[in-house]
Amino acid sequence: MKRKSVSYAKWGYIFLAPFFIVYCIFALYPLISTFYNSFMDYVVDRSTVGGGWGTSSASTAKETISFIGLDNYKDALSSNETLVQSFWNTVIMWIIGFIPQIAVSLLLATWFTDLRLKIKAQGFFKTVIYLPNVIMASAVAFLFTCLLQKNGALYSFFEPIAGKDLSLLDKVWGARGTVGFINFLLWYGNTTILLMAAIMGIDPGLYEAAQIDGASPSQTFWKITMPLIRPILSFVLVTSMIGGLQMYDVPSLLTKDNGNPSGKVMTLIMEIQQRKDSDVGKACAVCVIIFIVSAILGVITMIGLDDTKDKKKKKRRKAA
Amino acid sequence: MAKLKRVLAGALSLCMVGSMLTACGSSSSSDDAASSSKKADSSKADSSKAGDSSAADSSSEAPKAERMNTAELHGKDSSDKSKNTLRIYCWNTEFKLRFDAAYAKGGKYKVETASYKDDKGKELTEIKKIDGKDIEWVQVENEGGAYQKALDEALKGQKDSDNKVDMFLIEADYALKYTDSKDTDYSGLVALSPQDIGITDDDTKNMYEYTKDAVRDPISGDVKALSWQATPGLLYYDVAMAKEVLGTDEPDKVQEFVKDWDAFKETAKKMKDKGYIMLSSFADTFRVFGANMTAPWVTDKKLNLDPQMEAWIKQTKEFTDNGWNNKTDQWQPAWNADMKKGAKVFCFFMPSWGVDNCLYKQGGDEAKGKWKACVGPAGWFWGGSWLCGAVDSDNQDIVADIMKTMTCNTDVAKFLIDSVGEMVNNKEAVAQAKDSYKNEFLGGQNHIALMSESADKISLKGKISAYDQTCVEKLQGDMAEYFKGTASYDDCLKKWKQDVKAAYADLDVG
């Protein structure tokens, strides 16, 4: 029998295999076991190390594991737990950071790509804008702790706002604002670069045509730029939202893991980190909740910003 | 085409969700058996757990099980590299500095040294090799339980690892976790019994009893860890402020102004009138109250707030509202700054190790003569560090000699007194220092003599549990808001209970 063509497909699969193997071991399996453990009453006794030297074979700390169905979820969402509060904390701090981030990024991206402005030394500015993102979040959080704590450089500057002998971090909105501000600082550069790439992908002819027709800059922005970068905008929104839900290092370091004042800066991942060594079942339940919420948010955003609807409309118009 | 794509995408995502759910279902059914067997295990553990209270009240009781020789190899044999390396887990350089300086004064092994500069540019010598074997210090931050976590991981894997931990340090706040074998089957065993590696009762005869009682394994009755220090606390006051405000800087006379909490308060008022501040942080008096607690933080898995702690909260609130403390947080830069020359804070409660580790470390040579010590309003102590040999260590001879040299040798103890003013865990050395010792940093005062009076009275019995570090750190962190006036007492207490519950889900926090 004569072969008609050579199949290269198997090489594709072979080269793909390492990713899938790694993914299965380090992502898929933990994901499944997280789901599984979230239905368990899984509590570790941390008062002992459990070296396993003794006559019995138990080599880990004492654990009690039994199936309890949805109780972890009920507990996690009940009002005497802090988890619901932590969820709202996370969302609020994300919004505080995201709104200025997207506004500033859009503004900068438009300026840098504007044909009439012709800003010089763009490479320099782009690098400077992007720089904060290069620094580790933990380093920035530590820097702000140093600045804002007692005897810190900005302590007395903020004292009129925070109150006598208080740091900005002692106030709920001060601490939340600081977390949001740090996130804004770290990520607006990244977003600016993304949006610039999107804007530069737009046909310059459209801008020229708009200019000739006498459109004002704000008109070009709202009527040309915004609709055409929508896919990238939705990408930025979704990734930022998922990143925001996983907010951990900055609030944790700023509040020394306490999430104070009054637990109002505690985020969901901080809750998980606190519980994971002992209250494994509930920590898993929180993970699953985050997973589900991320998925829902993602789907909503995708639907909301999907441009296929417009295309459909256009098609219909054409048909008509 | 677009439609086809959508259908395809939909089908694929359905597949994914489907596979996820099937995985869920099958694994939970297959694991039912596993979980029920584990359940059986745990119920067995429960029944034998009757005596497994977290309190240290069992030291006087008779051993509950036959001794086992902890020096035997239990797990996998180690690699050559591990045999040629001495791995020591610690959370700061306190012991390393003592070891580098003092081991050669009494140790039997040959050491190779190298010099290095510390962060202040001071030339120091460190021991690189002992008996031809490298020393590896694994240093992990103590705060937030990070050290415990790292150590637990290492000790849990010790049995199956070919790279063995040889020695580790523990602190009073969590000593029980590593010294209590937990069960008659020794399931909690992680530390070598010194007697199994050749350290006799005679070697440890000069130690203060409490340093042995606190780390006695209720299961075997063995002392599981040895300490080179005793940790009675004193009140260190600023000489110049005492002279200006109280009219005297003599320790005996200053003591009259701080002899109990009422007098202490009066003095705080006087200090404020003259523009000084009595204390630095909210937590400065914490350990004075904590050392006099009537019950441990956790008894029989139940969390309780001791009346002494309530007293601390009440007093600190009063001090904060009246401006008698500087509203700093312990261990933070602002607290450290209050120890420097020229700061406005009058006094610090410090345990024996605080003079070298805090007052001298922060103040430096500039602060020489700034501080003097008196007993203060109550007798107290703060923690202490112990040395443990790890079970299955592949350098047990060296570990034994280090423990013996650093904690039992009287010459080394005397050297530690003279060089760093350490309150050593050696009654003989302390008795000699009582008459002759002078601490240069404290303006020639003999604070060892002051401390030796209270060292005999220290008892950790019924005061420590394996959960202390978290309870203490969280209480201080959460109560800070009450002191600052940004949250109510009840809210802070509730937050504290939630935090402890999150860290230890099996506790009843009430």
The CATH number assigned to the domain holding B269 equals 3.40.190.10
Put simply, the answer to whether A150 touches B506 (Cβ < 8 Å) is no
B105 to chain A nearest CA, in Å? 34
Whether A67 and B32 lie within 8 Å, measured CB to CB: yes
Q: What is the largest CA-CA distance in chain B?
A: 97
Q: Is the pLDDT of residue B242 over 90?
A: yes
Report pLDDT digits (tens) over B125-151: 899 999 999 999 999 998 888 899 899
pLDDT (tens digit per residue) in A117-170: 788 888 898 889 898 888 888 899 999 988 988 878 888 888 888 887 888 888
The pLDDT > 70 percentage for chain A reads 89
Only one residue has tokens 């849990």, namely: B156
Q: What is the pLDDT of residue A109?
A: 92
What's the mean per-residue pLDDT of chain B?
83
E strand or H helix at B348 = strand B347-351
- Domain of residue B285 covers 234-380+467-503
Q: How confident is the model at residue A81 (pLDDT cuts 50, 70, 90)?
A: confident
How many Å lie between the alpha carbon of B228 and the closest alpha carbon of chain A? 24
Chain B CB contacts of A52 below 8 Å:
156, 159, 187
By the CB < 8 Å criterion, does A64 face chain B? yes
**Is the Cβ of A69 closer than 8 Å to some Cβ of chain B?**
no
Q: How sure is the predictor about B21, in pLDDT bands with cuts at 50, 70 and 90?
A: very low
pLDDT value at B286 more than 80 = yes
Does residue B52 form part of some domain? no
Partner residue opposite B155 with nearest CB, options A51, A66, A149: A51
pLDDT tens figures, A31-54: 999 999 999 888 888 777 765 555
Instruction: Specify the residue for token string 């402005």.
Output: A117
Candidate from A39, A45, A262 with C-beta closest to B487: A262
pLDDT value at residue B32: 37
CA nearest to B178, candidates A278, A57, A46, A48: A48
| B456 in a structural domain | no
Q: B44, exposed or middle or buried, with CB in 10 Å at 0-12, 13-18, 19+?
A: exposed
**What residue in B sits closest to A151 (Cα-Cα)?**
B334
Phi, psi of B114 (to 5 degrees): -145, 155
Q: What is the mean pLDDT of residues B264-274?
A: 93
Chain B contact for A243 (CB, 8 A cutoff): no
Cβ of B156 within 8 Å of Cβ of A51? The answer is yes
CA distance A36 to chain B (A): 6
Q: Which of A95-99, A222-226, B50-54 has the highest mean pLDDT?
A: A95-99
- Asked, for residue B414, whether it belongs to a domain, the answer is yes
Considering the domain boundaries, does residue B370 fall inside one?
yes
**CB within 8 Å: B187 and A58:** yes
Is A275 part of the contact surface with chain B (CB cutoff 8 Å)? yes
| For residue A319, pLDDT beyond 60 | no
Helix (H) or strand (E) segment spanning residue A264? none
pLDDT per residue as tens digits for the range A210-232: 989 999 888 989 988 999 998 88
Query: Other CB atoms closer than 10 Å to residue A238's CB: what's the count?
Result: 18
pLDDT of residue B291: 87
Q: What topology does CATH give the domain A82-275?
A: MetI-like fold (1.10.3720)
Split into its structural domains, chain B has a count of 2
Of B189, B337, B503, the CB nearest to A51: B189
Question: Is a pLDDT exceeding 70 seen at residue B52?
Answer: no
Nearest CA in chain A to B30: A36
Nearest to A257 among B68, B144, B152 (CB): B144
- Contact with chain B for residue A16, Cβ under 8 A: no
pLDDT bracket for residue B43 (50, 70, 90): very low
Q: Is the pLDDT of residue B41 over 80?
A: no
pLDDT digits (tens, 9 = 90+) for B484-494: 988 999 999 99
The pLDDT score that the predictor gives to residue A51 is 57
Q: Which chain A residue lies closest to B49 (C-alpha atoms)?
A: A62
In terms of domains, do B93 and B218 share one? Answer: yes
- On whether both B240 and B345 belong to a single domain, the answer is yes
Q: Which pair of tokens denotes residue B308?
A: 């002494």
Give the pLDDT confidence score for residue B434 in this predicted structure: 86
What's the pLDDT score for residue B45?
A: 38
The pLDDT of residue A59 is 47
Q: Which of B158, B337, B467 sits opposite A151 (nearest CB)?
A: B337
Averaged pLDDT, B26-31 = 34
Distance of residue A42 Cα from the nearest chain B Cα, in angstroms: 9
Residue B118 and residue B245 share a domain: no
Q: How confident is the model at residue B38 (pLDDT cuts 50, 70, 90)?
A: very low
What's the gap in Å between the CA of B478 and the closest CA on chain A?
7
Report the percentage of chain B scoring pLDDT > 70.
88
Q: How near does any CA of chain A get to the CA of B426, in Å?
A: 30
Chain A residues within an 8 Å CB radius of B467: 46-47
CA A287, A292, A293 angle in degrees (round to 5)? 95
Lowest mean pLDDT among A123-127, B34-38, B349-353, B447-451: B34-38
Confidence (pLDDT) at A153: 85
Residue B55 pLDDT grade (very low, low, confident, very high; cuts 50, 70, 90): very low
CB contact under 8 A, B144 and A67: no
User: Is the residue at B311 inside a domain?
Assistant: yes
How far apart, in whole angstroms, are the C-alpha atoms of residue B352 and residue A136? 38
Residue B225 in domain: yes
A192 pLDDT more than 90: yes
Q: Closest chain B residue to A81 measured between Cα atoms?
A: B498
Supply the DSSP symbol for A72: H
| Residues B22-26, mean pLDDT to the nearest whole number | 37
Q: Do residue A262 and residue B466 have CB atoms under 8 angstroms apart? A: no
What integer is the mean pLDDT of B471-496?
92
Alpha helices in B322-365 (DSSP H): 333-337, 352-354, 361-363
Region B436-451: what's the mean pLDDT?
88
Q: Are residues B219 and B325 in the same domain?
A: no
Is the domain of B101 the same as that of B200? yes
A144 in contact with chain B, both atoms CB, cutoff 8 A: no
**Which of B220, B172, B173, B176 shows the shortest CA–CA distance to B194?**
B220
Asked whether residue B474 falls in the same domain as residue B426, the answer is: no
Q: For B392, which residue in chain A has the nearest alpha carbon?
A: A53
Residue B236: what pLDDT?
93
CA distance A49 to B150: 11
Give the count of alpha carbons within 13 A of B309, CB side only. 18
Whether residue B371 is found in the same domain as residue B398: no
Chain B residues lying within 8 Å of A149, measured CB to CB: 329, 332-334
| Chain B touched by A95 (CB under 8 Å) | no
Would you list the domain boundaries of chain A?
82-275
State the alpha helices, DSSP H only, in B274-395. Answer: 286-290, 307-321, 333-337, 352-354, 361-363
Q: Among B504, B507, B508, which would you mutate to test the A interface (most chain A Cβ atoms within 10 Å of its Cβ)?
A: B504
